[in-house]
Amino acid sequence: MQTFFSIGVDALAYGMILFVISIGLSVTMGLMRVVNLAHGAFAMIGGYIASYAARDLGLAYGLAVILAVAGTIIIAIPLERFLYRRIYGAPELTQVLMTIGITFCVIGIANYVFGPTLKTIPLPPDLQGPVDLGFRTIAAHKLFAIFCGVAVALGLWYLIERTSFGVKLRASVDNTAMAAALGVRTKIVYAASFALAVGLAAFGGVIGAELLPVEPYYALRYMVTFLVVVSVGGAGSIPGALIACLLLGAIDTTGRYLVPEYGEFFFYLAVIAIVWVFPRGLMGRAK
């Protein structure tokens, strides 16, 4: 029972972190059809900025999170303008190569600037230590991660289903040319959703730093996981991404607890099985 409970909490926290980071990737992939392998690199940049702000400058945690999100978006804008715009609509191989190239560059630069060691982001006192739920205690930062994931999911749902920006976004996802013909400024929708995606990645990178430690190879190590989430969930689908994150988080965490000697064997086996049965993802739509 104890193991079951801790697996449950860990899986939930891990799944929520995955969700916060990869939902942006899912939205941009559904919208712009860009296989962005550099998404994890943006999460890593966010983690580095927050670590620098909180640990080296001694700023408050909340401020560090805001700085990380803003800083990552500022770094990402010129990349979008000069590199990503050239590969919209390009063959996949081109997109994969370009974004892997960006990832390699970010890893190299991060290692040069910050060194190869793990960077920690000091948590505020409120998030340290355990929280007593009455019948069990769980680590506060895991609770915080779960809370953030739920908040992001609800916020995104509201933004996409209930606001006029959401209407334009959905219209552009469904049919870009038609949306543009009806007066939606799709370029601005593209840029805004790219910024949103990058911002969420950075946010996830910061709040998930306890579970996915920030180091130069972060971008490569978790890149695969984020891609898998999008592919399993179905590009562009929020509920799909949420289900995929919870499912994959549960499989991965259970595997690590029960059969650690197999590493990620069962995780990838499950991925193959799911993608085999649902080639367009759990909630993906036929083209």
Partner 1 sequence: MSITNTSATIIQPLPAASSNWLRDLVGIAIILAAAIVGYFLFPNNLALLTRMIAIMLFVLSLDLVTGYCGVATLGHAALFGAGAYAAGIAAAHFGVTEPITMIAIGAVGGAVAGLVSGVVILRGHGLAQLVLSIAIIHLFHEAANKASNYTGGSDGLAGITPDPILGLFEFDLWGRTAYVFGIVLLIVIFVLLRILVRSPFGLLCRGIRQDPVRVSAMGASVKRTLIKMYVISGVVAGIGGAFNAVSTQVVGLDSLSFTNSAEALVMLVLGGVGTLFGALIGTIVFIGVEDFVSAANPFHWLTIVGALLIAVVLFAPKGLYGTAAALVERYRKGGK
Contact 118, 214 (CB under 8 A): yes
Candidate residues 100, 131, 143, 211; the one interacting with partner 1 per rule CB under 8 A: 100
Among the listed ranges 70-78, 93-101, 132-140, 187-195, the one in contact with partner 1 (CB under 8 A) is: 93-101
Rounded distance between C-alpha atoms, residue 126 and residue 139, angstroms: 11
Q: Is 269 in the site for partner 1 (CB under 8 A)?
A: yes
C-alpha dihedral, 38 to 40 to 41 to 42, nearest 10°: 100
Of 97-105, 125-133, 206-214, 241-249, the segment contacting partner 1 by CB under 8 A is 97-105
Distance CA 3, CA 5 (A): 5
CB 45 within 8 A of CB 179: no
Determine, following the binding rule CB under 8 A, whether residue 96 of this chain makes contact with partner 1: yes
Q: How far is the CB of 26 from partner 1 (least distance, A)?
A: 10
CA–CA gap between residue 111 and residue 217 (Å, rounded)? 9
59 binds partner 1 (CB under 8 A): no
**DSSP 3-state of 138:** strand
List C-alpha distances in Å: 156 to 208, 229, 278, 285.
Answer: 19, 17, 25, 19
Residues 235, 244, 246, 250: which binds partner 1 (CB under 8 A)? 235
Q: Does 230 bind partner 1 (CB under 8 A)?
A: yes
59 to 67, 120, 178: CA distances (angstroms): 10, 14, 47
Between 190 and 219, how does the x/- string for binding to partner 1 read (CB under 8 A)? --------------------------x---
Kindly state whether residue 280 participates in binding partner 1, applying the rule CB under 8 A.
yes
Interface residues with partner 1 (CB under 8 A) are: 29, 33, 35, 83, 86-87, 89-94, 96-98, 100-109, 111-112, 116, 216, 224, 227-228, 230-232, 235, 261-265, 268-269, 271-272, 275-276, 279-281
